[in-house]
Amino acid sequence: MLFSSITFLFYFLPLLLIIYFIVLKKFKNLVLFIFSLLFYFYGEPKYGFLLILSCIINYIMGILIVKHRKYDKIFLIIALTYDIGSLLYFKYLDFFIENINNIFKSEIPFFYIVMPIGISFFTFQTISYIVDIYNKKVKPSKNFLNFATYVCLFPQLVAGPIVRYQTIENELKNRESNYDTFALGIKRFTIGLAKKVLIANLLGELCTSLAAISNQSVTSYLFQAVGYTLQIYFDFSGYSDMAIGLGLFFGFHFLENFNYPLIASSITDFWRRWHISLSSFFRDYVYIPLGGNRVSLLKWIRNIFIVWFLTGFWHGASWNFILWGIYFAIILVLEKRVYGKYLKNTKIFKYIYTLILVVISFIIFKCENTIDIKIFLSSMFGLNNLPFINIETLYYIRSYLILFIIAIISATPLLKVIARKIKPVAFLEPIIYIGIMILVTAYLVDSSFNPFLYFRF
């Protein structure tokens, strides 16, 4: 079930809110848990048991780690074996078989496993929980319902952000939902919904149309590249905004997941701003345990490549994602050891440099094989004898130019700064948000194009 769907907006969410706010406080987690399971089973009825089993195993192992510290490593290994093992089996097994067959010319049959929705996200949450208990950063939950609510909580269940137990531990036990928090949640959710439906979806339509034209041009490839970068940003950041807003409805405060990454001044800065919950996960649970930067140069380079190989591989069982991760590893090593200090001293170039590299990265991310990547990049840079622009490209540019301008402005803090300075009359604010909801609803009723890119991961 998508947040940006009629079913969710006008059936699931209103029914949940009515029941949640009329039940006694002691039953609120139970209501959230049941509705979160309904939310998951609606989209993934086949693998719902996997989610529940993950809750049971990690809950028990968390308690045993603390109760029997002498054998804590054994219980940690059991939990991690299940968590990582289920991820490897459901997400990567056929990928491994395919590559073994290609290398050894074997004919091992495929399992054709359908990946459970959200497994990359809720598995990372349980991993962070069990590792933090082992490292004595958090105490295990004594209440299974509270823990299961944390793992299954529907706002972040299928597409993040990756919420750590310590972030909402106290709120699972005791939280307040007041008018101000709820109002802030409505605003945040509405903004995220608009980013997803009114910007990301329309950019997706543009990119699909440009990819399908018979006579391509350099400009059509450029617009596809920039359009896809903006699409995936508004798609995923919009979903994160909606998740944060929904959390506020029920008194949960999730950490920010995006901080205007497309205005970053370096790739290092970009990854401080993009998918913050994922990059911080790999920093805390892989990079630092490997030694971080407090090791020799060669080991540090090894650490960077391990982290970014895993970051790329986490996104999907495909070589283009691995290449995408390695691409960033190379750039980050060069920034930190070769030209980073010179880059900081430039005024405009550092932003242009970052944007170009980010756009190239999402071409690698989008294309499914190296041949497609090569064709796309060479065409975009005018190396395939294509015209710079043609009539078909011009048609789509004219049709979507206003959208492009809105998307570019919205990817910066400009609108936020203007809103703070203007401070519109109080009664106008709800009218603006109601207007956005009417536009979103009209689009959803009229259009069948409503994908969510990160459901693939």
Three-class DSSP labels, 120-131: HHHHHHHHHHHH
Give per-residue burial for 324-362: e unless 16+ CB within 10 Å, then b.
bbbbbbebbbebbeeebeebeeeeeebbebbbebbbbbb
Over residues 409-457, the pLDDT tens digits come to 999 999 888 877 776 666 678 888 899 999 999 988 876 655 655 555 5
Token code pair at residue 412: 């910066």
Secondary structure letter of residue 286 according to DSSP: I
Concerning whether 68 is annotated as a catalytic residue, the answer is: no
pTM of the model: 0.93
Token code pair at residue 119: 């497994």
- Check residue 429 and give its pLDDT: 80
Separation of alpha carbons 310 and 281, rounded Å: 11
Q: Which residue among the candidates 68, 253, 275, 315 is catalytic per the annotation?
A: 315
Domain boundaries, the chain: 6-175, 181-456
> Helix (H) and strand (E) counts for the chain?
23, 0
Rg (CA), the chain: 23
Distances (CA, A) of 5 to 118, 240, 310, 363, 372: 18, 16, 32, 28, 32
- Check residue 417 and give its pLDDT: 85
Q: What are the residue ranges in the chain where pLDDT is below 50? A: none
Backbone phi and psi for residue 288, each to the nearest 5 degrees, phi listed first = -65, -45
- Check residue 378 and give its pLDDT: 95
- Check residue 39 and give its pLDDT: 94
- Check residue 160 and give its pLDDT: 79
Q: If we measure between CA atoms, which residue out of 191, 264, 268, 199 comes closest to residue 228? A: 199
- Check residue 421 and give its pLDDT: 78
Over residues 90-145, the pLDDT tens digits come to 999 999 999 999 999 999 999 999 889 889 999 999 999 999 999 999 999 999 99
